[in-house]
Structure 1
């Protein structure tokens, strides 16, 4: 991976309190970036920044803890408004926060299946609201941390909450397909990346063995580097650009997903 300096660049990493997100924040900060460290709660975000300062020797001034529970869309809106106000120019948004779908069908207070909201809809809303900061200067980009499991998925257009037929793996895969499709949205230059099966809380979805979270994070950080040219909608399996599932690049699917997501989060597509 290139080790060029990222000094002067500001990056928001969602789900940055553990696993790949925490390691992504560490690697970015070690290369000089100012990192907005998102956590579900203020306590979790502060603990993550304290840990990075204490164990990685990162300057506290490079880290800014922020919080929002992605199971509550109002908190996502508040987070976005805070960032636009305090950081009117944002170089990179890393949409990393994620969860395994629960065993039992679960809806958020907003009425959405919880994995679909946390893994995709919240990131859709956040990205839309951060568009002014990401496009205030040329070169802003979005990196969606997706999954190879998107290839096994289908989006249930008439029942995205999977109320009629729920299976946790199918629900999780649907959220990853949606996140991958969303990278082809033309408003902000974006890519998606499968960082590999890593030793995180999501490992049981993939198997029993995985690489370190730091190895997975390196593939994410590479795509944050302005020296790495990207094409809108591209999909990477670790550091190799490959074709995503066919549905992920279909214009009709992109438009349909934007319409559906906009309706579910109350945001014009």
Structure 2
């Protein structure tokens, strides 16, 4: 593993807004950037004159976030744009991706930051999938696949001047290592249709799945010049804990174990913009607050094919997810 202790209590971030140059002309999408880590990340990018799409379900919350960020950086020459994105409805996800393509001709980095954690047992998406699987995995996979042609043309236009800068960042979690079964998921219980599990188990599986999506996407689109990374952003005080309960342990965790959301933004910023992340590092796993590391050994093995000495579980996961979203890709 990437060291559970060092992930829970990381050293200070080494890649922050201080390491960024002018981002004028750059275009980013940050899903779930109306609050928490995503909002902090959008603010950093906008402060350096980038165009940032605040992709969120609630226009009211997104508008409020946009106004907050503009007020914090009144001299920025960047743009903040709202993009309607409901990851719990695959039809809406497809509409969102298509809308972005009509509005922009390039995309530098897609930050798949949004997520849902421990919702009430039985929560489902519009299409009937378990909510965490539907949002954390299926919604983001469909969104990414539909935006891939635009990412690829952007990378091609940069190949001579700015290689290694077009990226997809997939937000995983420490739970991918701490709460998932061997291999990250049970291939006999895809979609949790054969056996019910706790919401904690399903969240952990969804985040192991996010790692597999990042690793497999890296392989499939390597020749397109797109870099793909998964990241544990850290244990953070954010809106992700909205279903987390109100017990004593939860309250202690909020004070002791969890860090400010800005730290998670640094984890994602490292993956999306650090020059340390080169094409050779595509498919890697990053840990707080922006360091490349190894994920749990059995999960890393799953990202490799049998020929590479692995188990091929990552391909199984990706193919299953792709089958679920394929009807919405046309």
- Give the aligned partner of residue 174 of structure 2: 148
Q: 2: distance between equivalents of 1:53 and 1:242?
A: 35
Deviates more, 1:241-250 or 1:89-98: 241-250
| Corresponding position: 1:225 with 2:263 | no
Deviations 1:158-177 (A, max 9, x none): 33332422201111111111
Offset of 1:43 from its aligned partner? Answer: 2.2
Offset of 1:116 from its aligned partner? Answer: 0.5
- Give the aligned partner of residue 227 of structure 2: 189
Bigger-Rg structure (1/2)? 2
- Give the aligned partner of residue 160 of structure 1: 190
Instruction: Determine helix, strand or coil for the equivalent of 1:166.
Output: coil
Judged with a 3 Å threshold, the aligned counterparts in structure 2 of structure 1 residues 60 and 39 are, in CA distance, closer, same or farther, namely: farther
8 Å contact kept, 1:84–1:132:
no
Offset of 1:256 from its aligned partner? Answer: 0.9
- Give the aligned partner of residue 56 of structure 2: 39
Q: 1: distance between equivalents of 2:128 and 2:189?
A: 12
Q: 2: distance between equivalents of 1:12 and 1:255?
A: 26
Instruction: Determine helix, strand or coil for the equivalent of 1:75.
Output: helix
Deviates more, 1:191-200 or 1:243-252: 243-252
Offset of 1:183 from its aligned partner? Answer: 0.9
Offset of 1:109 from its aligned partner? Answer: 2.1
8 Å contact kept, 1:76–1:125:
yes
Deviations 1:48-83 (A, max 9, x none): 212211234364851111112111111100011111
| Corresponding position: 1:115 with 2:132 | yes
Deviations 1:165-199 (A, max 9, x none): 22011111111111111111222420011111111
How large is the Cα RMSD of the aligned pairs?
A: 2.0
Instruction: Determine helix, strand or coil for the equivalent of 2:124.
Output: coil
Tell me the TM-score normalised to structure 1 length: 0.92
Residues 196-211 of structure 1 correspond to what in structure 2 (within 5 A)?
196-203=234-241, 204=244, 207-208=253-254, 209=256, 210-211=258-259
Q: 2:263 aligns with which of 190, 215, 226?
A: 215
Aligned residues: 268
Residues 1-269 of structure 1 correspond to what in structure 2 (within 5 A)?
1=15, 2-57=19-74, 59=76, 62-138=79-155, 139-151=165-177, 152-153=179-180, 154-163=184-193, 164-184=195-215, 185=217, 186=219, 187=221, 188-203=226-241, 204=244, 207-208=253-254, 209=256, 210-225=258-273, 227-230=275-278, 231-238=281-288, 239-245=290-296, 246-248=298-300, 249-251=303-305, 252-266=312-326
8 Å contact kept, 1:88–1:132:
no
Deviates more, 1:238-247 or 1:66-75: 238-247
Determine which structure has the larger helix proportion and give its number: 2
Q: 1: distance between equivalents of 2:53 and 2:239?
A: 22
Displaced runs of 4+ in structure 1, greater than 6 A?
Answer: none
